[in-house]
Amino acid sequence: MNSIFSFMLSVAAGVVANYIYKWLGRWFNKDCKH
């Protein structure tokens, strides 16, 4: 039970981190044009 919860928590953290990284990347790319 505890290992399954830890696994789900790590997966959720990875998805949230990926979503925040994409959102920040799009926001910064709109701010500074390279």
Through-space distance between the first and last CA atoms of the chain, rounded to whole angstroms:
48
Residue percentage of the chain with pLDDT more than 70 = 88
Question: Is the pLDDT score of 18 beyond 90?
Answer: yes
Question: Is the pLDDT score of 32 beyond 80?
Answer: no
Task: Give me the amino acid identity at 17.
Answer: A
Between 6 and 29, where is the model more confident?
A: 6
pLDDT, position 26: 85
pLDDT, position 21: 92
Q: Rounded to 5 degrees, what are φ and ψ at 32? A: -115, 125
pTM of the model: 0.58
6-23 burial, b for 16+ CB within 10 Å, e for fewer? eeeeeeeeeeeeeeeeee
- Mean of pLDDT values over 8-25: 95
Alpha-carbon radius of gyration of the chain? 15
